[in-house]
Structure 1
């Protein structure tokens, strides 16, 4: 217990923690992000209603405005949609999907990009050229086009009854496979520097296997920029998923993300039900904005030139 307290005290006294306390925007963004993540993870416990259980829905309560507008009810603080679902509860559940897709897609991009970057930087030669040209080809296709292609292939090879069940994984794969190049290029550049340093040369002279040098020594020294890119890429991945869902390529109606909720509300804007799309859109903006602000602070805090 004392060792844990000592480690916690050392972390609080570190230079990174001091920089965090000196940056009000980073503190606000981190607090907001933490609150939104907690609300998303604990949605089944804290959501006022269970919006995706048909047995709990009442169509007589559909399209109710927010509680502070005439006709609203305190039971539904942010109003209801056309199916009588509580908008606040759908936002909590939608954030779960958006955050889960974003995190999983970034992790997939990190695994692919870091692995290919290490191989390209360590091997060099034609291996490096082949991987980098593959990255150039990848960058010539926008994420949405790649998502269209992957979605079409998935629909062609999967039985109709499995398409909706696997849509979550198809979206993750489509976003993750489109964003690995930035990680590969960063890790490749760092690997080319690290492999020529004295510790790597000493390890090779000691006949340490190349894979052990690569993953036990070179990889840890390249993770700093990767963490920064992953943090900034999380906001991009969440926003990309929202765009795909808005276009109908993302999550199905049974697992709606924030983008899918915005798409549903967009169809009702002309009839005056502005709250159905406005509040999920505001939640998406706050989520992506908090991630980006925290990522910008982390990039500056870990930049040795600014210390």
Structure 2
């Protein structure tokens, strides 16, 4: 039954592999808890008989093991999904989930970088003294340019095919984001030039249907390589630990909003399914304005 549920999530709902693995792990932990809680392996009858107190005990045990609120929310979401799957298959209703209130997770603001720091991470000249080949330095600059200049996730940037490279007359790139949602994003001229420079220096022949960005040995480029490159550059530039590849995507949204960008447009550029996800950037901009006010206004002291 768990395999059918996982297949349904992957096929019909197009849930990512990372989420599928997490949900499978969560279900395994819950079934293991029920085995210890009731002293026998759980079956369908036991699942249908679950009470809210059982769920609260499970969440309490996970909390005691050091699981945070966000992970608890994910676990509860996955278990509810499994319960709905059982109901759709006519295997019974697990009513306990509908009466259980979800734990609240603290709302964390994305860590955007100042514009100068974001530009420094992207600029290839910041890599002066790096002993790696010029084409690799140009490659890293081009990848990070897409994150900051187009708001892409690192997985989206690395999924671009050579034939879809936004260079020359092509100033739009189409990517598939979370849940397979496809969107087209404009690519500004500096990022186009960074990609063209990388292509001119790359010593490998890139097949049209192969990846645009490749590793040192010609294979597909791993996100981890970019993360490590940013970590080294972060140290050289004296940037905080929050200066990560994904922070460039947050910076893209925050800086657009700070310059008067429309929230709906930013939502489309980022590929957010819900406007509420994008609205978190308004809190960042408000916090920045309040900080400036407190530092400059004579009555704020």
- What is the TM-score of this pair, normalised by structure 1? 0.25
**Larger relative contact order (C-alpha < 8 A, sep ≥ 6)?**
1
